[in-house]
Chain A
Amino acid sequence: MAEPVLELRGVSKRYGEAVAVDEVSLTVERGEFLTILGPSGCGKTTVLRLIAGFEQPSAGEIVLEGRSMAGVPPERRAVNTVFQSYALFPHMNVFDNVAFGLRMRGFAPTEVRRRVLDALRLVHLEDLATRMVDRLSGGQQQRVAIARAVVNEPAVLLLDEPLSALDYRLRKRMQIELKHLQRSLGITFVLVTHDQEEAFSMSDRVAVMNQGRIAQLDTPTAIYETPANLFVARFVGEINVLPGVVVGCVEHMTHVEVEGRVIPLSTPPGCWQVGNKVHVLLRPEDLRVETLRDLDEDPELRASFGRVPALLGVVEETVYKGATYDVILRLDSGTMLTATEFFNEDDETVYFRPGDRVAVTWVQGWETVLAYAP
């Protein structure tokens, strides 16, 4: 196993009484794209600033390429940052901005020129080398900021919400470009964002942060499919949370009473005991909804509807989303659920109407069960 390029060991940062970062430990492998995802104020930017050296940890240790960074100032760390505001030097043109890091490290002018032009070519800005940075569009400034950082070939490139100032389409395009850039350069990226879509589409692994701690660190799929706790579940997309009680554990089947119905869950044995209070988590797109009318009329549909006993309710409203639509329904117990339905060839209109009596079910095993937390 190769040595990790970056390691945080129990790193904390306190400002007086306030704890911004609380015992964060993580390792980043060489060439990995790691995203720190979290709501504003969760400490994710502080983690980045600690790695960059703008802040010193109150406790714990940061190890970069096997060397402790305690007391090492930012100018002597092999990391570079792409700032949220880009922080391009307004009194320099594009070329001088990108050349700054190389010049500081004492490269010969011909070498500086060669590398800067290479970096500008990489971000498709070779024609704008002599332009002053305040004459560039937001997207172009973003590219200069990236070129200025990667030209130094850092061990780790830190990106602080780099795309948040761009409009939606440009942001999508830059996400893809950033990912390509990272692949082709092989540089380790640590990106901070509050946008889960951005985190999922670019990263190898995602660290979800909440209140200064890492709530879960895993691949995007694992975080979405099997969230470790309610915070992660709710932060990365919409989810339905149903309270339940474990009523039986037979062999590798756990039975949980949810909304007055006993439902078998495929949870490993030994996890739960009878009487445990739990949360059953279901993504809206995993729910299957049919009207009771259709189920009555069509035995085939009824047969294919699944083995999980259905929950009954009534449609409150439908929300059109473009490629999909959400069905918001109220279970007979009063609990609200959201289910996402797709349009397809034989179903091009919103099928459900407010007031429809419906049954809701899901494929057994697609649910996530967590210990009850108020």
Chain B
Amino acid sequence: MKWLRRIYIAMVLGFLYIPLAVMVVYSFNASRFSMDWKGFSGEWYLQLWNNTGLLTAALNSLVVAVVSATLSTVLGTLIAFTLTRWRFPSRRVIGATLFVMMMSPDIVIAISLLVLFMLLGLPLGFGTLVLAHVTLCLPFVAIVVQGKLHGFDPVFIEAARDLGAGDFAVFRYIVVPLVTPAVLAGWLLSFTLSLDDVVISFFTTGPTFEVLPLRIYSMVRLGFKPEINALCTIMMAITSLAVIIAYRVFKEEK
């Protein structure tokens, strides 16, 4: 039984991580063209560093991710508060539309936004891309924070008021600290959603503003370059770091 369980665990982990491992290993492969192993090399990382186009795209991606994650976290948190705190007629409808937005295929969101932007005469670029990513991320933040607020016992608010806290003090000293973990989680989710989005970005950004996933996409179409392996390895390292930090933060909270 014990070895059976071990095999099972190995299969699950292998299924998840073998592709990533292959990518990491090949990012250090000295061979340029073939998938044969030609020895260890850090060359592609060096080339990456000199590829200004790629670096610009990466920087663009980071900026868009930070800005849109922050915007959607602010808006999504406000929506979550509104939906849990007040009972108004369209509350259920708005709650449902959040799910509809979350479930909609990216391509549908992308096309609809493109049509809207063209109708409004907005030039495609940084602005439209951020707007599109906020649209993408907003429902996720709202739903994550709403989940936390639903589990939030209103007796804490009563206890704080009973002890002399006014509305602002309740928000500042009770609600914010208790909800922060969920808000942070929403931000991280938005950040990653924005960072690796291809479809929506493809339709809603212009030629003057290129983001990393699109850049990689076009690079691969012209032929696979080993720099891409190196680039993806770096991105993976950054994501892992973010996950570790997030885990630490939440553990502190507990």
Q: Are A105 and B159 in contact (CB under 8 A)?
A: no
Closest to B166 in A: A75
Question: Of B164, B173, B178, B253, which one neighbours A75 at CB under 8 angstroms?
Answer: B164
A-contact bits for B135-176, CB 8 A (1 contact / 0 none): 000000000000000000101101111111110010001100
Residues of chain B contacted by A80 (CB below 8 angstroms)? 162-163
Q: Is A271 an interface residue (CB 8 A)?
A: no
When the two chains form their complex, are residues B178 and A87 in contact, meaning their CB atoms are under 8 A apart? no
Report the minimum CB–CB distance from A114 to chain B (whole Å).
Answer: 18
Interface check B177, CB cutoff 8 A: yes
Minimum CB–CB distance from B73 to chain A (whole Å) comes to 20
State in angstroms the CA–CA spacing of A100 and B253 once bound together: 19
Q: Is the CB of A100 within 8 A of B155?
A: no
Residues on A with beta carbons closer than 8 Å to the beta carbon of B165? 75, 100, 104
Q: How far is the CA of A121 from the CA of B178 in the complex (A)?
A: 28
A372 at the interface (CB under 8 A from B): no
Whether A91 and B253, one on each chain, are in contact in the complex, defined by CB atoms closer than 8 angstroms, is: yes
A residues apposed to B, CB below 8 Å = 52-54, 73-76, 79-81, 83, 85, 87-91, 100-101, 104-105, 148, 152
Q: Which of B153, B165, B174 has the most CB of A within 10 A?
A: B165
Q: Which residue of A lies closest to B164 (CB)?
A: A104
Query: Of B161, B162, B166, which is in contact with the most chain A CB atoms at under 10 Å from its CB?
Result: B162
Structural contact, A85 and B163, CB atoms closer than 8 A: no
Nearest A residue (CB) for B254: A134
Does A74 contact B156, Cβ atoms closer than 8 Å? no
Compute how far the CA of A321 lies from the CA of B163 in the bound complex, rounded to whole angstroms. Answer: 44
Known: A101-B164, A152-B163. 10 other contacts (CB 8 A): A73-B161, A74-B158, A75-B162, A75-B165, A80-B162, A83-B155, A83-B158, A91-B253, A100-B163, A148-B163
Q: Hey, which chain A residues are within 8 Å of B253, CB to CB?
A: 91
Q: Which residue of chain B has the shortest Cβ distance to A98 in the bound complex?
A: B163
**CA A179 to CA B161, docked complex, whole Å:** 26
Expressed in whole angstroms, the minimum distance between the Cβ of A348 and any Cβ of chain B is 51
Do the beta carbons of A87 and B159 come within 8 Å of each other?
yes
Contact A105/B164 with A89-B174, A91-B253 known, Cβ cut-off 8 Å: yes
Per the CB 8 Å criterion, the residue count for chain B at the interface is: 18
Q: Is the interface of B mostly helix, strand, loop or mixed?
A: helix
Nearest A residue (CB) for B165: A104
* Closest chain A CB from B156 CB (angstroms): 6
Interface pair A52/B162, CB less than 8 Å apart = yes
A104 touches B163 (CB 8 A): yes
User: Are A104 and B169 touching (Cβ within 8 A)?
Assistant: yes
Which 10 A/B pairs are nearest by Cβ-Cβ distance?
A101-B163, A104-B164, A87-B159, A87-B155, A74-B161, A91-B177, A75-B161, A81-B162, A75-B164, A104-B165
Q: Are B164 and A89 in contact (CB under 8 A)?
A: no
When distances are taken between beta carbons in the complex, the residues of chain B under 8 Å from A101 are: 163-164
Give A148's nearest chain B residue, CB to CB: B163
B11 shortest CB reach to chain A, Å: 38
Complex formed: what's the CA distance from A81 to B161 in Å?
10
Complex: how many Å from CA A75 to CA B162? 5
What's the least CB distance linking A153 to chain B, in Å?
12
Q: Which residues of B contact A104 (CB under 8 A)?
A: 163-165, 169
* Complex CA distance for A263 and B36, rounded to whole angstroms: 112
A53 neighbours in B (Cβ, 8 Å): 161
Query: B159 touches which one: A79, A83, A152 (CB < 8 A)?
Result: A83
By CB atoms of chain A within 10 A, which of B158, B159, B178 has the most? B159
> Closest CB-CB distance, A295 to chain B, in whole Å?
60
Contact with A along B182-193 (1 / 0, CB 8 A): 000000000000
Question: Which residues of chain B in 64-79 are interfacial with respect to chain A, using CB atoms and an 8 Å cutoff?
Answer: none
